[in-house]
Structure 1
Amino acid sequence: MASPNSLLMTEDEQARDFLRGVLSKHGFQVILASTGQGGMEQFSPGLFQLVVVDLQLADISGLEVLRKVKRLSPETAVIIISDSVEMDDVLQTIRLGACDYFRKPIEQETLMDRAICRISEAENLAQQNREYRQALECRNRELSDHLELLRRDQEAGRLLQQHLLPRTPYRYPGGVEAAYFLIPSLYLSGDFVDYGLFGERFVAFYLVDVSGHGVSSALVTSLVKHSIMHCLRERPLFTHPEFLNADLLEMLELINRELLSTPMGKHASMFVGVIDTAENQLLYSVAGQIPMPVLVSAGDAEWLAGKGRPLGIFERGDWQVMCVELPSRWQLVACSDGVLELLQGNLLEKEAQLLQLIEESEGELEQLRKSLKVDTFGALPDDITILTLGHK
């Protein structure tokens, strides 16, 4: 490793010889200059660790040399030597960035030793800080790259999850129209909906709300979708009116088993139902659903009845299959519990507000969405999903 350089500017031979000896003892290579102009011609940033300047130079003031050095290389240490003990001179040198001030004649070597040690310690600390800053900048770049990769992965997951969702709105034979609005609080949603036509007369549907939100909850919604599709490939569901009750319970039992068997510790609420368009009937089951679904007809909105435990917690859910006779015109509205976070008050007050908004909107999805002010709410505390089915 090369020895550090020092630049000594003075025409005082006694001071020059003394300082050259002290600096050499500390391992410095000493470059001499008798004038300020001559010294500045040799100076360049990064070349010298230490500059010693006589305040009384023949050509230009030592203060002017100090200004030039600090302007070119602020990190270079500068020591001022002078015949003067005027306080103004001392204050000026300190203000301009000198690290020490010595009065000539300089005879105590220990004072200079201490000054050089302080400079070396400061230089070492500055070097450590530079290395730490460089390492921190490197880690920040790595973190930024990882975050960007995560963002792209989540964006890809969001697009995939959207691809798994059904078309909205969609009108089935018999006049039943299904639609939904789903917006995740993060990139991915723990809510999911699906619907489809079976046996030319049965419109089956479900809304599932997995605990939490984000990637892990979204993965569970994919598991639910996969499990149901696998079940449908194994045997036909919702194809005969005599088996609709059993089909609904089989779906709940299937998802319950899947959640209990996964190590993710997730549970879910679910509303699953089937509309028999030939008989104008709604058969449904709820599993821990909050808020309960709402049926709107003749201008009135009413909560549907029913109870059942959430999925993924208990071996048996005690789910019920309920049956409702549908009028000629009706609208069914189901919401995930994130909708309640958009309202004020306790749970009962929020449910009362929601029921009123559904009634005022007559269960129409877009009107209800506007009434809930979903698009202007800001950062959403939870995933928001509204599922509607209706016949006009």
Structure 2
Amino acid sequence: MTSTDHVANGHDQPPGAPPGSSARQLAAASVGNAAEWYDWYAYSFLAVYIADQVFPESTSNSLVPLLATFAVFAVGFFMRPIGGLLMGAVADRHGRRAALTATILLMGAGSLLVALTPTYHAVGVLAPVVLVIARLVQGLSVGGEFAASTTFLVESAGPGRRGLFSSFQYISTTVGQLIASGVAALLVLLLADDRMNEWGWRVPFLIGALFSLVGLWIRRGAHETRPAEQRAGTRPGLFEALRRHPRESLLICGITAGGTIAYYTWTTYLPTYAQVNANFDKGDALVVSTLSLAFFALLQPLGGMLSDRIGRKPLLLFFALGFAALVVPLLDSVTDTFASLLLVQCAGMILLTGYTSVAAAVNAEIFPARVRAAGIGFPYSLTVALFGGTAPYVGTWFKEAGHAGGFPWYVAGLCLVSACFYLILPETAKGPLKG
């Protein structure tokens, strides 16, 4: 059996890796990924402060700055398909480690630019322009990060461990988000509102730029998982995955739609939803988010290991059907009490784990190694941009339009669409990765 066969089948370490290097591979992917997502999510947690400083307030509607801030959040998401395609192509042509290096450098640069964004009062319209540029750079980075790190993680796994390794994608994502939420909550508790609005919101982005440098240093020790035979052979074209694997590309979109809207609603938008719809305290909302994210991170390896035993489909259907049935009553039950929001958020996290713990493995198991990163990156990131990135904006828009109760039904509908795809999805847990 060749080294290509070994890696494709998940029965060996990456080429050139010493025995027992699994922990090193996990650290290289996870720490860098946590740094990436810390930078990305710090923006959403601090949206209410950024809105006050970067966007002018409408005299007739106090939600206008917040809507504008979430619109920039969505704009960053629309760079993700480009990042998924370009960085995925880098990973397929030059190796996964090269792509992981590029993505974390881009994220650090974007985070630094957010920290240095001037206020609207100081420079006028230039302020939101700088913020948009920073989010475009970060969107390019995040789109490429998922493609490269997903492929890297699953290809690094040994036999019967792809689900477990897959779960580290969202473990590290959640850790990054948890740190961002914790830093934001700590600043809110320590600083008066005027100081938080003036300069406190910039601090997490400066920390994020330093965090990215730490991730870059750790990734330098990672071992390449793309087989040497493929690196030496003909390089795949930029659109080869879409052209030669259209069914698989469509399948990625269907798998992702419900998962991404549920994920961004529960892990990103829910604190703001509680503030806007139930007059929930801003500081308490960040504390609840931090606690529920810690709970969520602990669930991920359990879901990944369970999928290695019983398969990916049962967990995916548990997520989609459970969310479709319960999202409306869960969101309707959010009140201005601490306990209600914490219970609602943790209940959703349990359901969401059915998707997040296996998403990386499912995506990687669909495409062959030659185009795996780009094949995952573009359709996944496009779907996330369309449904996940717009979730905070759509939810706020429903509220502004006077139909706040319509947003939970929107989430439920997308989860049902994904459930249909999960039903036709072939079970891939026990088979080898495609070579």
Normalised to the residue count of structure 1, the TM-score between the two structures is: 0.29
Larger Rg: 1
Higher normalized strand content (fraction of residues): 1
Higher normalized helix content (fraction of residues): 2
Which structure is higher in RCO with an 8 Å CA cutoff and minimum separation 6?
2
Normalised to the residue count of structure 2, the TM-score between the two structures is: 0.27
